[in-house]
Structure 1
Amino acid sequence: MGFNHAQQVEILNQNLNDLEGKVNVSFEFFPPNSPEMEQTLWQSIQRLEGLQPKFVSVTYGANNSTRERTHRIINKIQNETSLTPVPHLTCIGASQEELVDIAQNYWDSGIRHIVALRGDLPEQTQTQPNMYALDLVKLLKSVADFEISVAAYPEVHPEAPNSQFDLINLKRKVDAGASRAISQFFFDTETYLRYRDRCLASGIEVEIVPGILPVTNFKQLLKFSSMTNVTVPQWMHRLYQGLDDDPMTRNLIAANVAIEQVKVLAKEGVRDFHFYTLNRSDLTYAICHSLGVRERSLVPQAIAV
């Protein structure tokens, strides 16, 4: 599947009003590690709450390092906002008994949706993990009828031997009970569309929700992309060249790139998008507003920070 220049221009020039009411969003946050970042997180949650996302997820951190903070944030979102909180859960560094207890506690507290991941391996480890995301999906389904999201990798998981192995692994997770897959971020829309086609051809019929990352720190992106097997196109290098000391222009470019991604994908029938917010609300809010995801009035709820 490809776009010629005329098609690309037509898509990017379509009226943004055409998307109003047709785009659903979800947001990802991570547990803060300082009082200042905690305040930023809750300010961001409050700002984005009015957009009424389908859900908001909270990451677990490498090697379960933020487990307790994740639980605390999930509980606070559950009790003090109108949002649907979705915790990430990983199986690295936890026994099956611990995972069952965590899952049961979530279910008992009203959590019905979990993002199931293997998790990052400890640095310099030589041992293979005894559980993978597939095993975690099965475990969660044995505890209760959770809605489960799993990860998908349009450019192949860094540890997968090849793309077919990666695709078979995703199908196994779906067959075990996963409700949807959320993709690693990407910047070439054709990469995602080809991947979606391959998923369908392999019998994977759940939604592959594209992960959207607005890039405000290009140097940080290059470092992270080298670890996650994500391609950064040359046109992005050109866009961000010479902007190390110009955050305002970087933000404008980040918003424009993200909006164009969503517009092209929406033209191809994609309706749900997952935004990696990095705990910052302003840019994500502006992008969503431009895409027709408008704020709706809510009953005010105070969040203690």
Structure 2
Amino acid sequence: MSKKLDFSLEFFPPATAEGVEKLRAVRSELAVLGPDFFSVTYGAGGSTRDRTLQVVREIREAGIEAAPHLSCIGATQQSIRDHLAEFRSMGVKRIVALRGDLPSGMADPGEFRYASELVGFIRQETGDEFFLEVASYPEVHPQARSYDADVRAFANKVQAGANSSITQYFYNADAYFSFVDAARKAGVTIPIVPGIMPIASFSKLARFSESCGAEIPQWMRRRFEGFGDDAEAIRAFGLDVVTRLCEQLISGGAPSLHFYTLNQAGMTRELVHRLGLAK
């Protein structure tokens, strides 16, 4: 029997005690599917540092690989060293290395300007101790000067020592395949893993997509708008859309899939089962 495609799952650190308990239940429910690892996001300027570390600690205590996000905007070299020491103490072997967003009101970006500088610094400090994931943007980072400049920025992160990449979510498979082709022409050889966003609420997705530069195809937008407030129809259509997208990506050679769970179990669990990825 052929090996099932790997997949990974992303969580964000909850801000409330209720959210912490809910995430524990969600993690337990999704862990039985056999993901390759759980990643945990990190707020702008390290604003969720302690909560991120707590979630990572609990994941590691459950015997699952955890990949904390680490952003460098607003950071110092010493603060990054401190993070790496904490990760090492928890047995973390994988890090998602990001530039991150400058928090509102903060003018100083700190000692790092780009994710490539963070990747290079981690390699300088720790050699090959950590497996480093970086971000990539099939539909172009919203702050990039051009498509080609964005591909070059991605290649710089890889040259600095990245092992793999997770993309921003998208709903156009051709955008992903075109980006992979452009990256390969730029000399990038690492895996480029599609980021998958399940669709539970179209209104929330539309707002978020505007801020992060992800495109919602017009035909999708019109279909969702046609459902009005019918939450069940939106959920069913969203599952079908994302299932077809994942099938296209898998058949086209995607190395694995990374699901943005939004700390919810149902949609991601359904997608993993539909795609036959559960271990």
Give me the TM-score of the superposition, normalised by structure 1: 0.86
Cross-structure match for 1:285:
269
How far, CA to CA, are the matches of 2:277 and 2:155 in structure 1?
31
Quickly say closer, same or farther: Cα 1:237–1:173, change in 2 above 3 A. Answer: same
Larger Rg: 1
How far, CA to CA, are the matches of 1:128 and 1:216 in structure 2?
35
How far, CA to CA, are the matches of 1:246 and 1:120 in structure 2?
35
How far, CA to CA, are the matches of 1:74 and 1:86 in structure 2?
8
Question: Identity of paired residues, percent?
Answer: 37
What is the CA distance between 1:66 and its match in structure 2?
A: 0.6
Cross-structure match for 2:10:
28
Aligned residue runs from structure 1 range 125-136, under 5 A: 130-131=111-112, 132-136=114-118
Cross-structure match for 2:232:
248
What is the CA distance between 1:123 and its match in structure 2?
A: 2.5
How far, CA to CA, are the matches of 1:195 and 1:181 in structure 2?
12
Secondary structure in 2 matching 1:105? helix
Give me the TM-score of the superposition, normalised by structure 2: 0.94
1:264 corresponds to 2:248 = yes
Secondary structure in 1 matching 2:150? helix
Contact 1:116 1:137 (8 Å CA) reproduced: yes
**Alignment coverage as a number of residue pairs:** 276
What is the CA distance between 1:159 and its match in structure 2?
A: 1.1
Cross-structure match for 2:99:
118
What are the Cα deviations for residues 24-72 of structure 1, in whole angstroms up to 9, with x where unaligned? 2100000011122212211110011011111110000223211100011
What are the Cα deviations for residues 154-193 of structure 1, in whole angstroms up to 9, with x where unaligned? 1111111111111111111111110011000001110111
Aligned residue runs from structure 1 range 135-284, under 5 A: 135-144=117-126, 145=128, 146-284=130-268
Structure 2: 5+ residue stretches without partners: none
How far, CA to CA, are the matches of 1:167 and 1:153 in structure 2?
9
1:96 corresponds to 2:81 = no
How far, CA to CA, are the matches of 1:215 and 1:129 in structure 2?
36
Contact 1:149 1:178 (8 Å CA) reproduced: yes
Quickly say closer, same or farther: Cα 1:240–1:75, change in 2 above 3 A. Answer: same
Cross-structure match for 1:11:
none
Aligned residue runs from structure 1 range 36-51, under 5 A: 36-51=18-33
Quickly say closer, same or farther: Cα 1:164–1:128, change in 2 above 3 A. Answer: farther
Contact 1:214 1:257 (8 Å CA) reproduced: no
